Amino acid sequence: MYFHTKNVHFPAKEQASEVSKTKPIYQTSAFTFTDFEDMESYFSGDKSYLYTRMGNPNSDDLGRGTAELEGADMGAASASGLSAILAGVLAVAENGDHIIATEDLYGGTWSLFSAELQRFGIEVSFVNMENREDIEAAVKDNTVLLYSESITNPLLRVEDIDGLAQIASSKGIKLMIDNTFATPYLIRPHESGADIVVHSATKYIGGHSDVTAGVVTGSRELIEKARARVAMLGSNIGPMDAWLGVRGLKTLSLRMERQCRNAASLAKALERLEGIESVYYPKAASPDGNGAIVTIELADHLDIMSFSKSLGWVKVVPTLAGLETSVTYPAATSHRPLPREQREALGVTDQMIRISVGIEDERDIIEAFEQAVKRTLTNIKA
Ligand SMILES: *Cc1c(COP(=O)(O)O)cnc(C)c1O
């Protein structure tokens, strides 16, 4: 062989005796076959992988691992939470169909639904999901899907999934739940009758702030369709990212246990603090905890910008669910796409801060916020 040839055809050593403890990363765009007949075995269903956009062992692991925890038949991973949401929606809805979504949606989902879905000819109505009559009144002949979130952002309303499932089945429509904030550690929407569950695995499933990923779970019939959408829209996840997602998923219960406990303690401490107008923290989300997000509203006389400069080691991060405690400003990040009036009608005010509680020692977390309030108050007096 000449150099140019040898350079790409050096032998890859593959021995069955090399059994890796962790799943190898199939960092490959395609799979090889011994001959054309062998390649036919993919199309006859005897082999699972042909081309990574259409499927890869690492992305299947992320889908399967999440489906296991959600109690679903099947899961499909994709490149982001939003692409998983789109794949899940398109598994049910097509041109001419209508969807009903909660009005307090995650900002990115709101943009996807209010702008992008229109391009596919899918119409969306936004309703107050706490009001059963509003939901029922919004159902039309072409309604195919009811969409909500298990714990909403940033006011942390815990959705009545059983109630929604009842409405959905009585109207013959599907129910889809974004379970990103709760994770299957706290809430398993399929057990309450949800047909499709979706995650931004960028958040708690990944858990380490090092990957953008999404997963959608449900029945084999629906998820085969979602998986086909991921393949055809080209929103597949890369093997390395899927591998990172699985690596994160394995510590979900440990992280959630600690983060939920820390969040409960922080919420309690903040309720007693002068300068904090209100504390939002769910009360009965699940027997295992109430989530790891705490949302607070600073009193009007506290300057929000100086508060953000007084947080010490707590970072300002426009997302959530990392190992480290961080804060964000919903009015300018997750809810930025919403018109101001609509944002304020949802209760997302200019004094609101969302805290993503990490795995640190709760005493340090509480002290960081007490200090921040104290410093901000001193700034005002000075
Ligand atoms: C982050 C997030 C999304 C979007 O996920 P990406 O991974 O950023 O695409 C959807 N829903 C919720 C609740 C989220 O927090």
Q: What is the pLDDT of residues 241-272, one digit of tens each?
A: 999 999 999 999 999 999 999 999 999 999 99
Do 82 and 199 reside in the same domain of the chain? Answer: yes
Do 348 and 213 reside in the same domain of the chain? Answer: no
What's the average model confidence in pLDDT over 279-290? 95
Residue 75 lies in a domain: yes
Do 147 and 295 reside in the same domain of the chain? Answer: no
Do 227 and 292 reside in the same domain of the chain? Answer: no
Residue 295 lies in a domain: yes
Do 43 and 179 reside in the same domain of the chain? Answer: yes
pLDDT in tens, 211-247: 999 999 999 999 999 999 999 999 999 999 999 999 9
178 lines ligand 1 (CB under 6 A): yes
Looking at residue 340, what is its pLDDT?
Answer: 87
Do 209 and 355 reside in the same domain of the chain? Answer: no
Looking at residue 1, what is its pLDDT?
Answer: 83
What is the Å distance from ligand 1's center to 371 Cα? 31
Do 112 and 231 reside in the same domain of the chain? Answer: yes
Looking at residue 382, what is its pLDDT?
Answer: 47
Kindly give the residue spans of alpha helices, DSSP state H, lying in 32-182.
Answer: 36-43, 57-70, 81-90, 107-111, 117-119, 132-138, 161-171
What percent of the chain stands above pLDDT 90? 87
**Cα–Cα distance for residue pair 328/333, rounded to 1 Å:** 8
pLDDT in tens, 14-65: 666 778 889 999 999 999 999 999 999 999 999 999 999 999 999 999 999 9
**Cα–Cα distance for residue pair 382/379, rounded to 1 Å:** 5
Q: Is the pLDDT of residue 102 over 70?
A: yes
**Cα–Cα distance for residue pair 17/45, rounded to 1 Å:** 27
**Cα–Cα distance for residue pair 193/82, rounded to 1 Å:** 22
Do 98 and 183 reside in the same domain of the chain? Answer: yes
Q: Is the pLDDT of residue 356 over 60?
A: yes
Enter the DSSP assignment of 115: I
Looking at residue 336, what is its pLDDT?
Answer: 83
Q: Assign 379 a pLDDT band (cuts: 50, 70, 90).
A: confident
Map residue 353 onto helix, strand or coil. strand
Among 66, 109, 336, the mutation site with the greatest number of ligand 1 atoms within 8 A of its Cβ is 109
Q: Assign 381 a pLDDT band (cuts: 50, 70, 90).
A: low
Q: Assign 94 a pLDDT band (cuts: 50, 70, 90).
A: very high
Among 203, 208, 333, the mutation site with the greatest number of ligand 1 atoms within 8 A of its Cβ is 203
Do 214 and 272 reside in the same domain of the chain? Answer: no
Q: Which residues partner with 289 through β-bridges?
A: 286
Residue 4 lies in a domain: no
Question: Of ligand 1's atoms, which has the minimum distance to the CA of residue 214?
Answer: 7
* Mean pLDDT computed over every residue of the chain: 94
Q: Is the pLDDT of residue 287 over 60?
A: yes
Q: Assign 7 a pLDDT band (cuts: 50, 70, 90).
A: confident
Find the CATH number of the domain harbouring 352.
3.90.1150.10
108 lines ligand 1 (CB under 6 A): yes
Look at residues 249, 281, 313 and tell me which one is the last residue of a structural domain.
Answer: 249
What is the Å distance from ligand 1's center to 320 Cα? 10
Map residue 145 onto helix, strand or coil. strand
**Cα–Cα distance for residue pair 338/343, rounded to 1 Å:** 6
Do 281 and 165 reside in the same domain of the chain? Answer: no
Do 194 and 315 reside in the same domain of the chain? Answer: no
The residue range of the domain holding 306 is: 252-381
Residue 11 lies in a domain: no
Return the sign of the alpha-carbon dihedral for residues 66, 359, 322, 354. positive
What is the Å distance from ligand 1's center to 23 Cα? 26
Residue 3 lies in a domain: no
Look at residues 249, 276, 300 and tell me which one is the last residue of a structural domain.
Answer: 249
Residue 12 lies in a domain: no
Residue 367 lies in a domain: yes
**Cα–Cα distance for residue pair 297/154, rounded to 1 Å:** 11
Tally of domains in the chain = 2
Look at residues 223, 249, 275 and tell me which one is the last residue of a structural domain.
Answer: 249
Query: In this structure, what is the dihedral angle of CA atoms 290, 187, 321, 329, given to the nearest 10 degrees?
Result: -60
Q: Taking the CA of residue 82 as centre, how many other CA atoms within 13 Å lie in the half-sphere pointing to its CB?
A: 12
Nearest CA-CA partner of 104 in 366, 329, 363, 344 = 344
Query: Closest residue (by CA) to atom 14 of ligand 1?
Result: 200
Find the CATH number of the domain harbouring 81.
3.40.640.10
Among 202, 205, 211, 237, the mutation site with the greatest number of ligand 1 atoms within 8 A of its Cβ is 202
What is the Å distance from ligand 1's center to 378 Cα? 37
Question: Of ligand 1's atoms, which has the minimum distance to the CA of residue 201?
Answer: 7
148 lines ligand 1 (CB under 6 A): no
Looking at residue 13, what is its pLDDT?
Answer: 67
